[in-house]
Structure 1
Amino acid sequence: MYLQYLPWLTLVLAFVFFITSYLWIKKLAKKNNALEILLKSVMANNELFKQQFVELHSGSIGMGKKIQQLESKIIKTQENQQNIVAQAPENRLYTRAAKMVELGASIDELMAECELPRAEAELLINLHKK
C-alpha cells in the first residue's frame, strides 16, 4: 500500500538532501572566502611587522655604535682633563700640600714648603680634618 509512494518519497528525500547539501556548501564557501581575506590581511601585517623589525634592528645597531663612540669620547675627554689638571703648576702645589696635610704637616710647614699664605694653609688643614 505504501509502496506506491516510495518513488515519490525517495525523490522528495533526494531533493531535500541536495538542497540541504547545496546550502551547506554555499555556507562553507562564504566562510572559506572570509578566511582567505583574513589570511591575506594577516600576511600583509606580517610583512609590515617584518619591515618594522628590520628597521628597528638596524636602528638599534646604529645607536649602539653611536653610544660606543660617545663613550670613547668621554673617556678621552676625562683623560685630557686629568692631564690638564696634573700639568697646572698651582695644582701640583696644592696636591703636594694636601699630601703633606695627610701625613700630619703643620701650618708652618705648609707655608714654608709650598709657599702658601697662612689662610690657605689653615683652610687645607681644616678641609682635610673633616
Structure 2
Amino acid sequence: MQNSSEFVWLAIAAVFLLGVLLLVWCTIQWRSNKQQLALLSQQLETSQQQWGIAQAEIEELRAGVIGVGQRVLVLQERQQALAAELEQLDVQQQAIALSDPESKIYSRAMKMVELGADLEEIIRECELPRAEAELLFNLHQQKSR
C-alpha cells in the first residue's frame, strides 16, 4: 500500500508543480500582454496627435487655397476691366485717326510701306516730306525685323 500512497503523493506533487508552472506561465503572459497594451496605447496616442496636426495643416492649406482663389477672381475681374478699357481706347484711337486728315495720310503711307512700296512712291503718293517718309519707312522696317 505504501506504493500506492507514494504514487498519490507523487501525482499530487506533479499536479501541484504543474499548477505552479501554469501560474508562472500565466503571470509572464499577463505581464507581456500588459506591456504590449501599454505600447499600443502609446502608439495610439501618438497617432491621434499626428492626426490632429495633419487636420490642422489641412485646414490651414484649405484656408490658403480659398484666399488664393479669391485673389485670382479679383485679378480676373481686373483683367476683364482692363481689357474692356483697352478696347475702348483702341476704338477711340481709331476714331481719332479717322477724323484727323494728317493721320489718314500717315496711315495710308504705313499701309503702302507694308505692301512693299518704295520710298519715292510713298513721297509722291502721300505728298509727304522726304524726312517724314524716311522715318515711316525706317519704323516699319524695324517692326518687321
* TM-score, normalised by the number of residues in structure 2: 0.67
Cα distance in structure 2, aligned partners of 1:88 and 1:24 = 93
Establish whether residue 24 from structure 1 lines up as the match of residue 36 from structure 2: yes
If you compute each CA radius of gyration, which structure gives the higher value, 1 or 2?
2
Q: CA RMSD in A?
A: 3.3
Cα distance in structure 1, aligned partners of 2:51 and 2:111 = 77
Cα distance in structure 2, aligned partners of 1:9 and 1:34 = 37
Cα distance in structure 1, aligned partners of 2:33 and 2:64 = 46
Establish whether residue 86 from structure 1 lines up as the match of residue 98 from structure 2: yes
Superposition misfits of 4+ residues, deviation over 2 angstroms: 1-4, 91-102
Aligned 1:3-22 pairs, distance under 5 A: 3-22=15-34
Aligned 1:94-109 pairs, distance under 5 A: 94-95=106-107
Unpaired stretches in structure 2, ≥5 consecutive residues? 1-9
Q: Residue 94 of structure 1: CA displacement?
A: 4.7
Counterpart residue identity of residue 73, structure 1: E
Q: Residue 88 of structure 1: CA displacement?
A: 1.2
Cα distance in structure 2, aligned partners of 1:20 and 1:75 = 81
Cα distance in structure 1, aligned partners of 2:56 and 2:112 = 75
Q: Residue 5 of structure 1: CA displacement?
A: 0.5
CA 1:7–1:68 in 2, change beyond 3 Å: closer, same or farther? same
Task: Tell me what 2:87 maps to.
Answer: 75
Counterpart residue identity of residue 63, structure 1: L
Task: Tell me what 2:49 maps to.
Answer: 37
Q: Residue 56 of structure 1: CA displacement?
A: 0.7
Counterpart residue identity of residue 102, structure 2: E
Cα distance in structure 2, aligned partners of 1:100 and 1:16 = 104
Aligned length: 121
Percent identity between the two aligned chains:
18
Q: Residue 99 of structure 1: CA displacement?
A: 7.9
When structure 1 is superposed on structure 2, of 27-36 and 3-12 the one drifting more is 3-12
Unpaired stretches in structure 1, ≥5 consecutive residues? none
Task: Tell me what 1:48 maps to.
Answer: 60
Counterpart residue identity of residue 13, structure 1: W
* TM-score, normalised by the number of residues in structure 1: 0.74
1:29-85 Cα deviation digits (max 9, x unpaired): 000000000000001011111111111111101100100111111111111111112
Q: Residue 96 of structure 1: CA displacement?
A: 5.9
